[in-house]
Structure formats: C-alpha cells, structure tokens
Amino acid sequence: MERNILEEKFFEKYGNRSLRPVLFFSPGRVNLIGEHTDYNGGFVFPCALNYGTYLLIRKTNSNTLNFSTLNFDCDESVSISGMFKNTSKKWINYPLGVVNEFLKRDKTITGLDLLYHGDVPNGAGLSSSASIEMVTAVALNDLFSTGFSTLELVKMSQKAENEFVGMNCGIMDQFAVGFGKKDHAIFLNCDTLNYENVPVVLNNNVLLITNTNKRRGLTDSKYNERRSECDKAVEYLQDYKKIRNLSELTSGELVLLEKYIPDPVIKKRAKHVISENGRVVEAVKVLRENNLARFGELMNLSHDSLKEDYEVTGFELDTLVYEARKIPGVIGSRMTGAGFGGCTVTILSKKHVKQFIKELTIAYTSKTGLDPDFYQPEIGPGAGKIN
C-alpha cells in the first residue's frame, strides 16, 4: 500500500494532521531449507521477503497505547500502568508482548498511536507474527532511543512470542526478519547465532510460494510435541555422548540412533534433524557453486524427510509438493515453516511460471477442494525505518 494512503487512514483514525507518524517495515520470511532445526541448535537458511508488515507510529501526550490494523476490524486502547498481561484480543498480544520486553528492561514507554498493515498472509508459515513483533521492536527502539542492537531486538521479539503469545518457537523467524538482506539468504547457526549472508543467484529461475490455504489447526500443539520428542532423543543419546542438542551429531553418526534410541518415533525425529542439518550445509555450498540442480534436490529431500521422519506435512502440503515436481521447469519444491498447513516454496524456471500456476491449481483443487494462492516474492532487506 502506498505511504500516502496508509497515512490518510492513520489520520482518519487518529486525527491531528499536524503531527506526522513515522513509517517502519518488517518483512515476512521464507525458509529455503533447514526446517525444525532451529530449536535443536542447528542450521537454517531463510530469507526475508518484500512482503511484510508496515507500521505507522507516533507519540502522543496520553498514557495509552492505541492499536489498530487495516487487516481486520480491531481498534484497541490499553493504558500503560506497569507490565501488561496477555489479553483475549489475540492479535494485540504480539505488539503488547514486545512492549513488555522493553518494560522488563526498565525502558519507559509512553502513549502511542499505532496503525499496522500487513501484506503477508496470516498464519501461512511466512512469519507474519515475527514480522509484527519486529516492526514493533524496531519502531519502539527508534522512537524511545533505547539503543538495543538488532540481535537484542530479535531476542526480545522471540521472547514476546514464547512468553506472552505462548508459542514456543525457535529463533529463526525473528532472526530472518531482523537480519534480512536484499537478494541474500541467511545461513544461520542457531546455536552460536553466527551467520553469513549468502547471495541467492537464481539465473533464469524464480522463487514461488504456494499457500495451501488450509486452516491452521493443531500446529502449535504438534510443534510443542515435536520439541519434546527432540528433548527425549537428546536424553536417550546421553548414553552415547553428553550432547546438549541433536545438532551436535553429524550424518556420519546416524547409524548410532539404532543402538541408542529404542523408541522408533523418537528415532525418526532425530534422524530428520541430523540429516536436515547436513542438507543445509550442502545446500549453501552448492548454491555458492551455482549448482541449482543439486540445491533443488536437497529441497526435495528436505520435504521427504519432513514428511516421512518428522511427520509435519499432511495431505495438502504433500499434494502441492508432489504435484509441483511433475511440472516442467521445477528445480525443487518443499514445505516451509512449521508445517501442517501453510506454504510451500518452489524454485522453477521463469518461463514455466504460468504453466506451473495453471497446472498446480487444477491438480491441487481437484485433490483437496481448496484453492491455492501463489506469490512470487523478491528477497528484501530486514526490518527498519522507511524514510
């Protein structure tokens, strides 16, 4: 949405045209490979999108935070008096959780008018929530001159999501939207938080995101279940090695799972995490060598492992991925994000995009009764102020 239209909506809502609000943007993200590895201290390879959340914000003389969004009907005012508690108004828990992180660090937050507008679909595995958190975090940091580094803001946003919203996510999403760089993906070690920006050169190919449009159901509870299954695997493996997380093991040690993990389900979960880490490292290497064909194969293998061993895909994601792979020009296709619904990411040749959209829509709709949505994103920069 154009800035002046957004600004007009802001003034319609909050009045006082003499005081212009400041504009911030935070992207969503798509993860190219490295799924369900972040909370296991592993590698991920996400990139920031040119879709995300815009926030117009200005200070007021009052003692209230006025929240509004253009995405749905929601106007909420909360007064500032000590720490906030999680509210039943689900959406404002994201920004409110971030405000709380500032308060916890003894920063003074005074009255604000805030207007959000997101163009990344909600709950589709493209980190709409991390995007709302980070846009709030960078805006507060700027307006109140609190001096937090990007990494601190990323950690504060993750904490808001873990402790205030109550979703026990890893650090990938907030990190990706905080540290995104145009035309680059982020090769992040989630244990050390060391990272490198790797150029994504696709030659005559493009990234295409496809939304299953499946309603998000059990994602959060299944997500937490997977996390505890990984903890269980680490427990079993103590007899072999004193590891802190599954990512301390390499693909060469996969054979040992048979010996140390008696539970077949837990064994499969560990196998996914350890093999996925290996795939991320290889994917980054081959991308640097401009070997997109192998990169695509690794994307496919990643999805297969998420389906067979980690069991987080489901009929809709699998249909999109396996039907996509039948269409000419497709280099690789996999689910992205937490799974169970949400989106797939595909690399395919530019000239096949139209055919892809047409054929995949027909196949997917006839099998699932749902209409997919397609987005052709660019890889953009991380969260910040827009001048």
Rounded Cα distance between 322 and 167, Å, is 30
Considering only residues 52, 95, 314, 337, which one is a binding residue for ligand GLA as defined by CB under 6 A?
337
Q: Where do runs of H (alpha helix) occur along the chain?
A: 3-14, 93-104, 128-143, 150-159, 172-179, 219-237, 256-260, 264-288, 292-308, 315-324, 353-368
With respect to ligand GLA, which residue has the nearer C-beta, 173 or 318? 173
Nearest C-alpha neighbor of 133 from the set 104, 162, 106, 105: 162
Q: Does 318 bind ligand GLA (CB under 6 A)?
A: no
Annotate each residue in 35-74 with x if it binds ligand GLA (CB under 6 A) or - if it does not, as one string.
Answer: xx-xx-----------------------------------
With respect to ligand GLA, which residue has the nearer C-beta, 52 or 337? 337
With respect to ligand GLA, which residue has the nearer C-beta, 117 or 334? 334
Stretch that binds ligand GLA, among 30-38, 260-268, 323-331, 374-382 (CB under 6 A): 30-38
List the catalytic residue out of 73, 106, 119, 173: 173
Annotate each residue in 166-205 with x if it binds ligand GLA (CB under 6 A) or - if it does not, as one string.
Answer: ---xx-xx--------------------------------
Considering only residues 135, 301, 338, 383, which one is a binding residue for ligand GLA as defined by CB under 6 A?
338
Rounded Cα distance between 201 and 101, Å, is 37
Contact yes or no for 373/210 (Cβ under 8 A): yes
**CB of 305 vs ligand GLA, minimal distance in Å:** 12
373 is catalytic: no
Q: Does 248 bind ligand GLA (CB under 6 A)?
A: no
Question: What crossing angle do the helices spanning 264-288 and 292-308 adopt, rounded to 10°?
Answer: 170
Stretch that binds ligand GLA, among 32-40, 251-259, 284-292, 378-386 (CB under 6 A): 32-40
Strands 343-349 and 384-386: unpaired
**CB of 226 vs ligand GLA, minimal distance in Å:** 9
Report the SS3 class of residue 175: helix
| DSSP-assigned letter for residue 333 | E
- For residue 264, the one-letter residue type is P
Rounded Cα distance between 343 and 126, Å, is 8
Contact yes or no for 68/55 (Cβ under 8 A): no
Q: Does 229 bind ligand GLA (CB under 6 A)?
A: no
User: Rule CB under 6 A: which residues touch ligand GLA?
Assistant: 35-36, 38-39, 169-170, 172-173, 337-338
Active site residues: 173
